[in-house]
Chains A and B, each alone.
Chain A
């Protein structure tokens, strides 16, 4: 009894949190029923007509489906690779800088975009990438090339997404890797110098191997993002002209669901994504646990 009285306040503390999560995270999971229904909003989750897998077969037959899937995986994987490589490179470069003020200034500058929303960043990008008056095309024209409409060219658009994603996210990754580099044992550098290693060799044989565990951890944890191609970014930068290469699962679900009000089909597409993503996230955590001893809580 005393033991329970000791634990009671703990349950009371959790109560409001549990209530909020039950209503706004678990109750929507019941709503997944919609994926198997011809859903009529006035009838609710339970009374709408059950149609089995109809919504899924409808999705499979839609002409866009394959494109959307391919775009999603392509854009997401490119982002994962670039998002891994660029911060690692920047961290190594920053570590080699000796002037503290220079290092600090560089860090300050490259983190700024991370804290701005995609609404703001895309407003900036739409201006800067404009074919008629944008800064980037001015530079391209001044070197004698034809201006490019970056945001309306389906061939280029996915790469614009990747590059601008690196622009926004590089600062975040850099901090993690820089922290990993500072924790490398200085005796290793001493030994490398004794062996005649120049700074490039030190980087190759001491810094990089020292970063390996954290690189492996970040790579495995990013596995869950294979179907996350960046909803905020794409929705703010794309237009019907680039749907063929730029439309991703999340924007597709948004359009059929909330713009066209085809709730059942949108939920089916969303469910498909959720299940695969959950499997990938779990795989990522398991790998991270196995190879980097990482546990969540």
Chain B
């Protein structure tokens, strides 16, 4: 921190400081404790966990729940569906983001349709058909129970397009103008000038898109009528709503059998943690780019 403000340190400030640190630590502890608790339960024996004895440290440490989860065929299948979804979704979302952002970043003089198309995309963030009509369109285009149902309806992430197009517009115009005079077309300008200069903001969008796809579960729930097509988060959600009677009406006998088998708390917590693991693994990168991405998105010229 800066030197000027350092000088005004006296007894009153010390008390103030102490209170400040204490409150921050309290908040951080509240953020972290539930996660540590679940992690401890997942590594404990199910007897200790069911008795409610596990707090912030595993009791009777065991990998059993993780072994069980990782040998559960549906868990593996769902995990792979999620990976596939992240991979495909990332490629399509990023391709569409770049393809939409570049034309829309041109001035109205260079691209006549700019305002029309900008509004064409932006309008979808204001108003939509809603749950049922969107579901029916996905059904009518025969995407139900395919991975494309999780990708195509959100193929153009409009807010990401807006972030990227605003970034493109900040790039010095002289670069593309001189390239144009040298005979470069739009494709060359985009791939040789714009994209290399936008790597930080592209990295941010890539990370956020991947996390978004990994974390989505509701589209899996409505577009997959067969639970064997569930991505991981949807699968986990279907395990958790076992107390919710409505979901049981729709459950197949096979699902019900699975629910009773997996009602064990340690197993549930192990699965929760495995699903969170990829996010926690890329978390250091996320955090770094998160700052930049937000500043890009919110504070622009």
Contact = CB atoms under 8 A, between A and B. Distances in A.
Interface of A: 6-7, 9-11, 13-14, 16-18, 20-21, 23-32, 34, 41, 45, 90, 93-94, 96-98, 102, 105-113, 115-117, 119-120, 122-128, 130, 132-135, 138, 167, 170, 172, 175-176, 179, 186, 189-190, 193, 197-200, 202, 214, 217, 231-232, 235-236, 239-240, 253-255, 257-259, 263, 266-267, 270-271, 273-275, 278, 281-282, 296-297
Given A26-B124, A109-B32, A176 B20 contact: no
B154 to A, nearest CB: 8
6 contacts: A10-B103, A20-B155, A110-B27, A110-B31, A127-B34, A189-B2
Interface stretch (B65-73, B83-91, B108-116, B251-259): B108-116
B37 interface: yes
B228 interface: no
Interface of chain A, main secondary structure = helix
Smallest CB-CB A-B distances: 6 pairs:
A31-B133, A28-B129, A133-B52, A270-B130, A117-B215, A10-B103
B12 A27 contact: no
B35 A29 contact: no
Interface of chain B, main secondary structure = helix
A99 to B, nearest CB: 9
Contacts of A24: 134, 137-138, 152-155
A4 to B, nearest CB: 9
Interface residues of B, number: 111
A47 B287 CA distance: 51
Given A127-B38, A236-B237, A199 B133 contact: no
A14 B38 contact: no
A112 B16 contact: no
A229 B153 CA distance: 23
Contact of B265 (A14, A106, A127, A217): A127
Contacts of A119: 215, 217, 233-234, 236-237, 240, 275
Contacts of B111: 7, 10
Nearest to B293: A175
A7 B112 contact: yes
A176 B60 CA distance: 43
B279 interface: yes
Contacts of B224: none
Contact of A266 (B124, B129, B132, B280): B132
Contact of A93 (B23, B241, B246): B23
B218 A231 contact: yes
Best-buried of A16, A41, A113, A117 by chain B (most CB within 10 Å): A117
Contacts of B130: 28, 31-32, 253, 267, 270-271, 273-274
A179 B131 contact: no
Contacts of B181: none
B31 A113 contact: yes
B52 A9 contact: no
A14 B153 contact: no
Contacts of B50: 133
Given A90-B27, A116-B279, A200 B16 contact: yes
Interface string B151-190: 0111110000010011000000000000000000111000
B155 A123 contact: no
B233 A18 contact: no
A49 B154 CA distance: 31
Contacts of A30: 129, 133
Best-buried of A20, A32, A170, A255 by chain B (most CB within 10 Å): A20
Contacts of B10: 198
Contacts of A105: 28
Contact of B283 (A13, A112, A128, A231): A112
Contact of A106 (B24, B99, B112): B24
A267 B137 contact: no
A246 B280 CA distance: 31
Contact of A127 (B1, B41, B187, B214): B41
B126 interface: yes
Contacts of A25: 124, 128-129
A117 B290 contact: no
